[in-house]
Structure 1
Amino acid sequence: MRHIQIAQRVFNTPLMVDPAKALAFLAGLGPRITGREISFEGLDLPPADPADATLPARASLFGDDLARHGTGTGGPPYAVVEGIAVIAITGTLVHRGAWIGQSSGLTSYEGIAAQLQAALEDPAIRGIALDIDSFGGEVAGAFDLADRIRAARQVKPVQAFVADHALSAGYVLASQADRIILSRTGAIGSIGVVAMHSDMSGALDQKGIAVTLINAGARKVDANPYQPLPETVRARIAGELEELRQLFAETVAEGRGNRLDAASALSTEAGVFRGEAAVFAGLADEVADPVTAFRAFAAAPHGTNPTSRKGPLMITSLTDAPNPASVANPPEATNTSAPPNVASLVPPPSAESPDALSPEAIRAEAAEVAQVCAQAARLGVQIDAADAVARGLKPEALRAKVLAELATRSDTAGIVAAAPAASAKESPIIAAARKSAAASR
């Protein structure tokens, strides 16, 4: 294992990665890199289990394992199912690495870009599916790849299928697709940037080792691991990370359009959203079984998306970008009733106000209020639609109220997920997708 290269990619460089995943990495590999146990400020982590360090090779949800492609078979560098190129974006994301992939636990932006270009140039490919399960990774290269994915939408339809994570850099890429389909337990978001600094000065003192840094240029040795991090350097790094967070939000807004603007993306404060809460906040378009949604995508006519951005399944996309709060592990849906009849909500017209809305505008706003209330009910938040219309509450205000209520119920600001244990048994989802593809041929 190349510990020096790993350390260079982890420390003193901005990362778009879920903090829990970063800490799990450091707890497992940190001692190997530094040669001793490491500590985390304000955190008490259990010792790492060496068995967890091995990541299993994983096949795409919708086709064959990508590892068999490009190894002398002469086939494309991605799985192809019913004319759809399936590009897997899994594990830790790194800038360069050519064809490193699932068996190593890493996926490179370089490899994804090559697969994307090949799919665009192949006349037999009708669309592109991004099969995403990643906690994020390096900042370097992520935004350039995001631009390429967004540009690819002008040539062929691109959909992102998240099962079960698209966090940080993973969400940068997912947000550039035409649509994001999320599983019921799927988690997306973490629109933020983190950097880690290792302070080895105490360990060196204990060993009687003194490191003398000789530098030309006042900032040449900033954030070096042999000295404690000065507050001035910490503040400068924090400022750089905030600039990257702004770029993150702007890139997401470019991909999501009117479904999520930059201000709303920033207001999540790097929160993680699951299932319908993610759709409600504008971070995803639909909650559905990924395999079923992929079948619909593959069955669509050439050059079209099988569902509009107001998908007909569990929840529809939002026209007005909400102001989401940090939500993790929202409550299970408790009410799936249909929205009340819009006509029963519309109050009688009044001539008292010269600025009164037209009857058509009133009905449209009442319909949107009813939709928000129905969505809220599925998330376990009860709002009287008729009362909301009578009080003149706007849809965007109701969305903010619902998300604030969900935030108060949450016990944590993030999620922690362990790496899946290695297993020789094929996933039932993968088996179902293969069976469906074979039957349709």
Structure 2
Amino acid sequence: MHHAQIAQRAFNTPLMVDPAKALAFLSGLGPRITGQDITFQGVEANAADQTTAALPARASLFGNDLAQRQERNGAQPYAVVDGIAVIEIAGTLVHRGAWIGQSSGLTSYEGIAAQIDAASANPAVHGIALDIDSFGGEVAGAFDLADRIRAARARKPVQAFVAEHALSAGYVLASQADRIILPRTGAVGSIGVVALHTDMSGALDQKGIAVTLIHAGVHKIDANPYQPLPETVHDQMQRELEVVRFLFAETVAAGRGDRLGHAAALATEAAVFRGANAIAAGLADELADPVTAFRAFAAAPGGINPTSRKGPQMNTDSTDTPNSDQIADATPSTEFVAPGTPEPPVALPTPTSEALAPDAPVMSADAIRAEAAEVAQVCAQAARLGVDIDAADAVARGLKPEVLRARVLADLASRGDAAGIIATAPAAAAAKDSPIIAAAKKAATASR
């Protein structure tokens, strides 16, 4: 934002604008332009306008001065309707965005957090309504805010009212509510991550501009816009995105529980679900007009039956979702009883220097996604055997599925459970053994 240019257009120059509009403009942008609080002379302003003008320009990560300052003035940093704190989550979601809201087209995670904390601590607030209409935003800050929303719902009922979109980062926040209410045309999901790289080298060549990058450190200029993106850098960026997608799915699962587990969230492959399809897929809980649903929530926010939070499990009949066999294979089963006492997480091996070398074989984006999905499947199968593996860490370190299977078998063998794995495998699994079970059978046969 060009503050100097705004100041030149707003101050010391004739304006043809209604005084009330000018006051609203200066109340919102004045402190940011001048860097300090502003006062108004010659213009009659009501108390609410003065309170707005006195707001600081930012909310701190480590304090809640913004909310406290409004409380001292007898106001709240959120709207209150029938005892329900209404917190808007609209537009593009940003980290370190100061106290900005829908009027700027951006909403900051800090601002939302300040409102959540204040509403949670206010005894006059009986519940929290998240008014969401966002296509998403930045990764930074989203997961931490999701944790705060989930913690808040342990103290007070929290419901998310989507009108009309809660996608990507917007869905991260919506998924932490007790319930998600969606209109008939509303859309949720997009559980995925994207990164953009701009290659300006061709345009610069046409203009006769040569850019020389002088750097210390091999990776200092990775993904710079003045050169084509090297395949090795593309490979690393793809793996980083897969790791964030794992974290995304884990956060959604923490909020949605058995309505949308980690494996099922990954299996959506970032698809967008609309209306009734979203309910059937477990991404939302109720199809209703948000205004009507809000009135019901305000009438009895504390009267929600916890069992009613459980929505239908994923229905994969929709054309934009994977088939049911894919989800069934990736979802941990509760029928398999792990032999022996649960052990600490398996220590994952460190990739060899050859695997990290710049001239290592380059994988396509599709191959990396397929490998990440296979790693997730191996980790789910290992969990059924009582072996805990951090899938996100495995993907981040570039560990191959066969390496993970070997580690699982080695861990089980050290406990003397290889025979038990085969003996206790349910009959249903015999028809289609998992790769780990198949490898265990092969190892047991070879040892005879």
Contact (CA 8 Å) 1:181, 1:284: kept in 2 or not? yes
Alpha-carbon distance in 1 for matches of 2:146, 2:267: 21
Alpha-carbon distance in 2 for matches of 1:180, 1:291: 13
State the 1:287 CA deviation. Answer: 0.3
Structure 1 residue aligned with 2:154:
154
1:327 to 292, 307, 320: 320
* Cα deviation code 1:51-92 (max 9, x no counterpart): xxxxxx9xxxxxxxx999754564101110001000000000
**Paired amino acid for 2:187:** A
Structure 2 residue aligned with 1:269:
269
Structure 1 residue aligned with 2:397:
none
Alpha-carbon distance in 1 for matches of 2:195, 2:2: 21
Alpha-carbon distance in 2 for matches of 1:69, 1:147: 30
**Paired amino acid for 1:75:** A
Which 5+ residue runs of structure 1 have no aligned equivalent? 4-56, 58-65, 329-441
Structure 2 residue aligned with 1:47:
none
Contact (CA 8 Å) 1:70, 1:76: kept in 2 or not? no
Q: 1:279 to 1:100 in 2, by over 3 A?
A: same
Q: Say whether 1:317 aligns with 2:319.
A: no
* DSSP-derived class of the 1:132 partner: strand
Which 5+ residue runs of structure 2 have no aligned equivalent? 4-27, 29-47, 55-72, 322-448
* Cα deviation code 1:182-202 (max 9, x no counterpart): 000000000000000011111
**Paired amino acid for 1:317:** G
* Cα deviation code 1:110-146 (max 9, x no counterpart): 1000000010111111100000000000000000000
Q: Say whether 1:209 aligns with 2:202.
A: no
Q: Say whether 1:181 aligns with 2:181.
A: yes
Alpha-carbon distance in 2 for matches of 1:265, 1:205: 44
Structure 2 residue aligned with 1:44:
none
* Cα deviation code 1:291-341 (max 9, x no counterpart): 00000000006x333x66548xxxx821x455576639xxxxxxxxxxxxx
Contact (CA 8 Å) 2:280, 2:314: kept in 1 or not? no
CA RMSD of superposed structures (Å): 2.4
Structure 1 residue aligned with 2:296:
296
Alpha-carbon distance in 2 for matches of 1:310, 1:165: 23
Structure 1 residue aligned with 2:90:
90
State the 1:204 CA deviation. Answer: 1.3
Alpha-carbon distance in 1 for matches of 2:51, 2:122: 15
Alpha-carbon distance in 1 for matches of 2:207, 2:265: 47
Counting aligned pairs with the same residue, the percent is: 72
Structure 1 residue aligned with 2:219:
219
Q: 1:257 to 1:115 in 2, by over 3 A?
A: same
Structure 1 residue aligned with 2:123:
123
Q: 1:288 to 1:85 in 2, by over 3 A?
A: same
Alpha-carbon distance in 2 for matches of 1:207, 1:119: 55
Alpha-carbon distance in 2 for matches of 1:88, 1:300: 21
Structure 1 residue aligned with 2:13:
none
Structure 2 residue aligned with 1:111:
111
Structure 1 residue aligned with 2:381:
none
Q: 1:152 to 1:252 in 2, by over 3 A?
A: same
Alpha-carbon distance in 2 for matches of 1:163, 1:117: 23
Contact (CA 8 Å) 1:69, 1:77: kept in 2 or not? no
**Paired amino acid for 1:119:** A
The 5 A counterparts of 1:25-424 are: 70-72=52-54, 74-300=74-300, 303-305=302-304, 310=308, 317-318=311-312, 320-322=313-315, 327=320
Alpha-carbon distance in 1 for matches of 2:122, 2:224: 47
Contact (CA 8 Å) 2:98, 2:108: kept in 1 or not? yes
* Cα deviation code 1:210-266 (max 9, x no counterpart): 111111111110000010101111111001000100110110000000101011111
| Structure richer in helix, relative to its length | 2
**Paired amino acid for 2:311:** S
Contact (CA 8 Å) 1:70, 1:77: kept in 2 or not? no
* DSSP-derived class of the 1:278 partner: helix
* DSSP-derived class of the 2:110 partner: helix
* Cα deviation code 1:142-177 (max 9, x no counterpart): 000000100111111000000100000000000000
Q: 1:325 to 1:263 in 2, by over 3 A?
A: farther
Alpha-carbon distance in 2 for matches of 1:201, 1:218: 20
State the 1:203 CA deviation. Answer: 1.4
Contact (CA 8 Å) 1:268, 1:324: kept in 2 or not? no
Contact (CA 8 Å) 1:67, 1:101: kept in 2 or not? no
State the 1:207 CA deviation. Answer: 1.7
Structure 1 residue aligned with 2:341:
none
Q: 1:300 to 1:67 in 2, by over 3 A?
A: farther
Alpha-carbon distance in 1 for matches of 2:319, 2:170: 18
Alpha-carbon distance in 1 for matches of 2:205, 2:99: 42
State the 1:268 CA deviation. Answer: 0.6
Alpha-carbon distance in 1 for matches of 2:317, 2:162: 20
Contact (CA 8 Å) 2:172, 2:251: kept in 1 or not? yes
* Cα deviation code 1:4-34 (max 9, x no counterpart): xxxxxxxxxxxxxxxxxxxxxxxxxxxxxxx
Whose radius of gyration is greater, 1 or 2?
2
* DSSP-derived class of the 2:303 partner: coil
Alpha-carbon distance in 2 for matches of 1:321, 1:132: 23
Stretch deviating more after TM superposition (175-184 or 70-79): 70-79
Alpha-carbon distance in 2 for matches of 1:293, 1:236: 45
* DSSP-derived class of the 1:164 partner: strand
TM-score (norm 2): 0.55
The higher relative CO (CA closer than 8 Å, separation ≥ 6) is in 1
